[in-house]
Amino acid sequence: MIIEARGVSRSYGSTPALREANLSVAAGEVVAIMGPSGSGKSTLLHCLAGIFTPDSGEVWFDGRRLDTLDDGRRSELRRTAFGFVFQFGQLVPELTAADNVMLPLLLGRTRRKHAQRRAAEWLERLELADLGGRRTGELSGGQAQRVAIARALVTRPRVVFADEPTGALDTLTGEHVMDLLVGLAREEGATVIVVTHDARVAACADREVVVRDGRVSDPYTIGAVR
Amino acid sequence: MTVPLALLGLLEREPSHGYDLKRDYDTIFGRGRPLPFGQVYSTLGRLARDGKVTGQSEPGDGPDRKRYAITPLGRQEVATWLAEPVAAEPYLQTVLFTKVVLALMLGRDAAGYLDAQRATHMRRMRELAEIKRGGPLTDALLADHAMFHLEADLRWIDVTQARLGALAEVVRAS
Ligand SMILES: Nc1ncnc2c1ncn2[C@@H]1O[C@H](COP(=O)(O)OP(=O)(O)O)[C@@H](O)[C@H]1O
Ligand SMILES: [Mg+2]
């Protein structure tokens, strides 16, 4: 298992969002987290990615406890081992596509020249070779998400976390974005955990789990399948 | 229902022998469910009887010595059929609905059934997504059609799952 939640609970004030959630993901797997809105999908993703610390339970990454690391070590891990794609790319709109993709490399103190080359490479893999100089605020939704994918993969992460990456896109654009995300992550050997309520998006994954009321049910391991 | 119309449509494209017609049907529409020869010839026979195709005998023997062509009446039939929307059928819905209501009525595990159905639907969705990735556009479009229908079922499954408690009360009260 590359990443695991073991009995993870998390509340916002008095609102329980996760109740002893369990999820194990093997290296190289693509897993979809589905479920109604408000069921705790994003909270689970954030706990797995070390963005939130659980109130109780454990999160393991690559054989190590993640939830007990101090803030500095956790953000270091997020920067080096994880990549993120959110519903709205969370790109810096005033920067060009290339600069956005370079950003995580520069934060990791990669030399500028090298970062530029890597960014250009990744923009090309996302079929954005011509748009590197364009400010991301001027891109279409699908183009912006492809820039976000380039930025998530440019650091060669072990795990990519995506939260509704196609939520703001139409069917065909969303499908294209998902094909690129999953296809490239597989080429890189990266694990993907994608939150989505869209069955077509989830169909790109190897398997799906369903979150209901803060609990994870895995239809392939629980007695649901006869 | 669609077989006679599909054969008529193929004949509107060009006159053909029964054998070639079957081969074209299997390639374009059959999708792993080839049309039996018997059905091809019986369908062509009915279409000829109704004046929608003509069968021109050619020298030689065997059933395949007939070359079929569409008539103006046949063309009309194809045109009408193509302009006509299909009844908005509820597909699987009746089966799913019946199973859920019956499970609730009998005190069985309706939620478990819905989970299992959901997993089965998702497995099929993944197979279809795989077909789309590798295959030609025609296959992708057929897969899409199936996926959108499965998606509608999945949404219904989720909504029903969320309302199972209320539904159980209604069912038990009836
Ligand atoms: N920042 C927050 N403050 C208070 N409640 C929150 C916050 N974020 C999420 N919640 C609540 O926690 C529950 C789970 O939320 P979330 O994980 O975002 O669900 P999902 O991603 O499945 O829509 C919901 O009831 C939501 O209202
Ligand atoms: Mg969410």
Confirm or reject: Cβ of A96 under 6 Å from ligand 1: no
- Per the rule left: phi > 0, alpha: psi between -120 and 50, beta: everything else, A61 is beta
Confirm if A153 and A123 have CB atoms less than 8 A apart.
no
The mean-pLDDT minimum among A80-94, A194-208, B19-33 falls in: B19-33
User: What's chain B's average pLDDT?
Assistant: 86
What pLDDT, on a 0 to 100 scale, did the predictor assign at position B84? 72
Nearest atom in ligand 1 to A13's CA: 4
Residues of B in contact with A179 (CB under 8 A): 133
Asked whether the CA dihedral A24, A1, A66, A88 is positive or negative, the reply is negative
pLDDT at position B167 over 80: yes
- Atom 1, ligand 1: residue with shortest CA distance: A12
Whole-number Å distance between alpha carbons of B105 and B117: 18
Please report the atom of ligand 1 found closest to the CA of residue A40: 17
Nearest CB to A217; choose among B115, B125, B151:
B115
Shortest distance between the Cα of A216 and any Cα of chain B, in A, equals 12
Amino acid occupying residue A80: T
| Residue A223 pLDDT | 41
**Phi, psi values for residue B147, rounded to 5°:** -65, -40
Q: A223–B112: do the CB atoms touch at under 8 Å?
A: yes
B47–chain A nearest CA distance, Å: 41
Average pLDDT for B21-43? 87
**pLDDT band for position B90 (cuts 50, 70, 90):** low
- Among the partner-chain residues B115, B121, B162, the one whose CB lies closest to the CB of A224 is B115
A161, A130 in Cβ contact below 8 A?
A: no
- What's the pLDDT score for residue B88? 57
Relative to beta strand B66-70, strand B16-17 is: antiparallel
Of chain B, the end-to-end C-alpha distance in Å amounts to 39
pLDDT of B112? 86
A145 close to ligand 1 (CB < 6 Angstrom): no
pLDDT digits over B97-143, tens only? Answer: 778 887 787 787 888 888 988 998 999 999 999 999 888 998 999 99
pLDDT for res B2: 80
Q: Inter-chain contact B118–A217, Cβ cutoff 8 Å?
A: no
Average pLDDT estimate for B162-169: 90
Alpha helices in chain A (DSSP H): 41-48, 71-81, 97-107, 112-125, 141-153, 171-188, 199-202
> Minimal Cα–Cα distance from A24 to chain B, Å?
18
Contact A22, A5 (CB under 8 A): yes
Is the CB of B151 inside 8 Å of chain A's CB atoms? Answer: yes
Strands (E), chain B: 16-17, 53-57, 66-70
Pick the atom of ligand 1 nearest to A43's CA.
Answer: 17
DSSP annotation of B85 reads P
* Mean pLDDT on A77-84: 95
Which of B115, B126, B162 is facing A203, going by the closest CB pair? B126
pTM recorded for the entire structure: 0.83
CATH of domain A3-225: 3.40.50.300
A8 Cβ below 6 A of ligand 1: no
**Residue B6 in this model has a pLDDT that exceeds 50:** yes
CA distance linking residue B1 with residue B9, whole number of Å:
13
Residues with CB under 5 A from ligand 2 (ion): A 42
Residues 6+ apart with CB under 8 A from A195: A32, A33, A34, A41, A42, A44, A45, A162, A163, A164
The predicted pLDDT at position B91 comes to 62
Whether B8 contacts B47, CB under 8 Å: yes
- Which residues does chain A have within 8 Å of residue B118's beta carbon, measured at their own beta carbons? 210, 219
For residue A89, pLDDT beyond 60: yes
Instruction: Decide whether any atom of ligand 1 lies within 6 Å of the A43 Cβ.
Output: yes
Look at B119 and A220 and tell me if their CB atoms are within 8 Å.
yes
Q: Which of A187, A208, A213, A226 to mutate to test the interface with B (most CBs of B within 10 A)?
A: A208
Residue A35's alpha-carbon distances to A3, A101, B128, B157, B168, in angstroms, are 20, 31, 21, 11, 21
ipTM: 0.86
Share of chain B above pLDDT 90, in %: 49
The amino acid that residue A73 corresponds to is: R
